Amino acid sequence: MRPGTRAADAILRLLGRDWAGLGIALLPAAGGARCVSRGTGRRILGGVLWAVALALSLGSFRHLVHVGRIRVRYPPPGRMVDVGGYRMHVLAEGDAGPKPTVVWMPGGHTGGYAMYRLHALARERTRSVLVDRPGSGWSDLGPFPRTTAGEAVELLTALERAGEKGPYVFVGHSFGGLLMANAARRRPDLVAGLVLLDPTPPDVVAFGPPLPALRHTVRDQTTLALRHLFGLHALAPKNEAHSPEDPTHVLAVIETRTKANCAAASILRELSPGGITRVGWQTVVYDGELGSLPLLLVAPRDLTGGGEIFDAVDDPEESARVRHFLLTARDRFLTASSSARRVYTPEGTGHDFPDRVPEFVVHVVGSLLDERGPGGADPL
């Protein structure tokens, strides 16, 4: 690991502790005391530094009170399982019966609760599991750096220590799809099928045009961590203030803890040409690596909702090339298994289709469950 990366992770590890703001506030306080002690000429600067320290301390105290309220109001709905000195949150509901258990993983680096609507529909017909990656949701922060390869191992460990039994159908959206493919590659004996919901194609990151949406993600997540650390939380609308059962609202509140932003800032470094090259061998699933594992690639037929990618491309020929590349790059996932096939999402849906048409997604996953037969075996 490069020295700059180690330093960045050390900073993120510190900022991921909710009490870190108080420690940071001591720095200007100490500077102010030093200025005052050195004479009259520096007392004004010392007073300014003390004022800064006071403001940071008050903001940090506000954040700690906020975190305390979160812990009381939103306790973990599932189990906290130890995966090696830190804990991951696993919510498992429903009866698997003869069918495989479905494990969901959302995109970005958000907690499993982001897919609660899908989970709630799926648990009616089989066992359904939501897992929070370390740092996200209710899970502990975990070690740094955060990597997709490392989180694939953590996911498998969390399922085992939570007492869940395979075979599993792994379902992952976007960046979560890359994680689930990685986990399936590591333990194909536990996996009955893989459903990738418009997964992040490493080729797009490594060889594609610069994507504005990815360029500033690490910086933005670090900035959010600092804002939260010093009490600058976004205020929930009044009509949501008393909606503790709304999964979207619950997750948004839970992830105002700084660990969520810091973990995301660490792992999202993979979504850059240098980042994906550095971790590619451990992260990418190559052609044929999944053998004959049933794999469904579920994605929109076109690039609905991706218009911002093309706004900066003035040349029509270049724009056409970019569109073709982005549409075909994700098809590389189809080469990972000899039993892979494509499923198109309903017309008019874009990358966020799991939120817009959850019934469709659960239906697709259910069709794979039915195909696998009892215990995950191929139907006769």
Write the secondary structure of 192-241 as one string of H (helix), E (strand) and C (coil). Answer: EEEEEECCCCHHHHHHCCCCHHHHCHHHHHHHHHHHHHCCCCCCCCHHHC
The pLDDT, as a whole number, for residue 239 is 44
Residue ranges of the alpha helices (H) in the chain?
3-15, 20-37, 43-73, 116-122, 148-161, 175-186, 202-207, 212-215, 217-229, 247-254, 258-267, 273-283, 307-310, 316-329, 353-356, 358-372
The answer to whether 17 and 258 are in contact (CB under 8 A) is: yes
The answer to whether 100 and 372 are in contact (CB under 8 A) is: yes
CA dihedral 284, 201, 154, 280 (to 10 degrees): 30
The answer to whether 183 and 156 are in contact (CB under 8 A) is: yes
Q: Does domain 79-374 have CATH number 3.40.720.10?
A: no
**Contacts for 92 with CB less than 8 Å, ≥ 6 apart:** 78, 79, 101, 127, 128, 129, 130, 162, 164
d(CA 263, CA 150): 13
Give the pLDDT of the chain (380 residues) as one tens digit per residue.
566 688 999 999 999 999 999 999 999 999 999 988 887 668 889 899 999 999 999 999 999 999 999 999 999 999 999 999 999 999 999 997 889 999 999 999 999 999 999 999 999 999 999 999 999 999 999 999 999 999 999 999 999 999 999 899 999 999 999 999 999 999 999 999 999 999 999 998 888 887 777 778 899 999 999 999 999 987 544 444 445 578 888 999 999 999 999 999 999 999 988 899 999 999 999 999 999 999 999 999 988 766 555 555 567 777 788 888 888 898 999 999 999 999 999 999 999 999 999 999 999 999 999 886 555 544 32
Nearest to 22 by CA among 52, 60, 50: 60
According to DSSP, the residues that pair with 52 across neighbouring strands are none
Both tokens of 111, joined, read 């907690």
**Contacts for 294 with CB less than 8 Å, ≥ 6 apart:** 192, 193, 194, 337, 339, 340, 368, 371, 372
d(CA 292, CA 193): 10
Angle between helices 258-267 and 3-15 (to 10 degrees): 160
Write the secondary structure of 308-364 as one string of H (helix), E (strand) and C (coil). Answer: HHHCCCCCHHHHHHHHHHHHHHHHHHHHHCCCEEEEECCCCCCCCHHHHCHHHHHHH
User: Backbone phi, then psi, for 77, in 5-degree steps?
Assistant: -75, -15
Longest dimension (CA), the chain: 89
d(CA 120, CA 79): 17
d(CA 192, CA 170): 8
The answer to whether 266 and 145 are in contact (CB under 8 A) is: yes
d(CA 291, CA 185): 9
The answer to whether 130 and 78 are in contact (CB under 8 A) is: yes
Angle between helices 217-229 and 258-267 (to 10 degrees): 160
C-alpha dist (Å) from residue 202 to 179, 271, 286, 326, 332: 12, 8, 11, 11, 9
Nearest to 261 by CA among 143, 142, 135: 135
